[in-house]
Structure 1
Amino acid sequence: MNGDEAAAAGHPASHPSGDLAARQAALVAALVAGGPAPVGFDPAALDAARSALLRKRAGEVARHWPLLAAGLGADWPATFVRWAAGRPTAGSLRDGWDLARELRDRGTLPPLGAEELAVREAVDRYDGHRPPRHRRLPGWGRAGGAVAIQFAGRVRLLTPAPR
């Protein structure tokens, strides 16, 4: 069987490299961005791998946002997984920032997370699209009743979040 006959018969070994790249991209999208399961992959195995990757991602975000994770306590993994399912990662720092902002907007950000978000926003600029950049001038951040300022390289939490 030549390459054309194998391709017509649907043999995966005969796919050109461009087709392999497309299949790999579909697999990655299914694992990390909520894409559909590619043809030929066991959906149960894909779900197990997707769940494992989301749990790993939750742990990485918790290392960058420890107060947010601690504030959510036992609800942290489930909260993160619900939020992250179907979203490709932007990196642990940005994922945590985006989640904290969404929780703030819904009114469900815990006090520890509010304080951490206020401090981060006092220190860095983040527009939700580009990577965060350190502020050169004095800055302030506010979230969930917490207020933080950054001046002369020092950050102070002026008002803690109400408990």
Structure 2
Amino acid sequence: MSGDLAARQAELVAALVAGGPLPPGFTPGPVEAARRALLRKRAGDVARHWPLLAAGLGSAWPATFTTWADGRPTNGSLRDGWDLARDLRDRDALPPLGAEELAAREAASRYDGRRPPRPRRLPALARAGGAVAVQVAGRVRLLRPAPR
């Protein structure tokens, strides 16, 4: 019995946060409302970790994030924001404030998209959307802001 319950719970979680199919016995309307509410909550959590990215997108932030995150399981707020910023950069849609924040993060930490970010030990230079940041001795400095 507990194995069946665990399997049903896993199906429900997958439907809510990872784009999985609706499990049998659940009404679509309430599950969809809960899924949308969880995406909004997740957008708020990511905005707390990536305030400049969220501010740079302004009123488009919730829609931009939820469109990107819909169907993707979370890797945590920091990594979700990092992955979104990189995706926006790759599509030339990263706002200047987000570019500056991404450049600073990339100078300060290594992140390969699979494992959690790790602080850099050696000096590093990072660029994103025209912004340039450098990290020396654990301190990050923005050398050139992104063009506005």
| Same fold, TM-score > 0.5, yes or no | yes
Q: Does 1:62 align with 2:47?
A: yes
2:66 maps to 81
**Structure 2 residue aligned with 1:31, among 16, 19, 23?**
16
Give the letter for the 1:57 counterpart. Answer: R
1:46 maps to 31
Q: Unaligned stretches of 5+ in structure 2?
A: none
Q: Unaligned stretches of 5+ in structure 1?
A: 1-15
Please give the residue correspondences for 1:1-163 in structure 2 after superposition, counting only pairs within 5 Å: 16-163=1-148
Separation in 2, partners of 1:140, 1:125: 11
Cα deviation digits, residues 21-73 of structure 1 (max 9, x gap)? 11000000000001011001010000000000000000000000000000000
Separation in 2, partners of 1:141, 1:64: 19
Separation in 2, partners of 1:127, 1:58: 22
Give 1:152 deviation, angstroms: 1.5
Which 4+ residue blocks in structure 1 deviate beyond 3 angstroms? none
SS at match of 2:104: helix
Indicate the larger mover: 95-104 or 149-158: 149-158
Higher relative contact order at CA 8 Å, sep ≥6: structure 1 or structure 2? Answer: 2
CA RMSD of aligned residues (A): 0.5
Separation in 2, partners of 1:74, 1:18: 44
SS at match of 1:121: helix
Give the letter for the 2:142 counterpart. Answer: L
SS at match of 1:69: helix
Separation in 1, partners of 2:85, 2:140: 19
TM-score relative to the length of structure 2? 0.99
Separation in 1, partners of 2:140, 2:27: 50
Larger radius of gyration: 1
TM-score relative to the length of structure 1? 0.90
Q: Count residues with an aligned counterpart.
A: 148
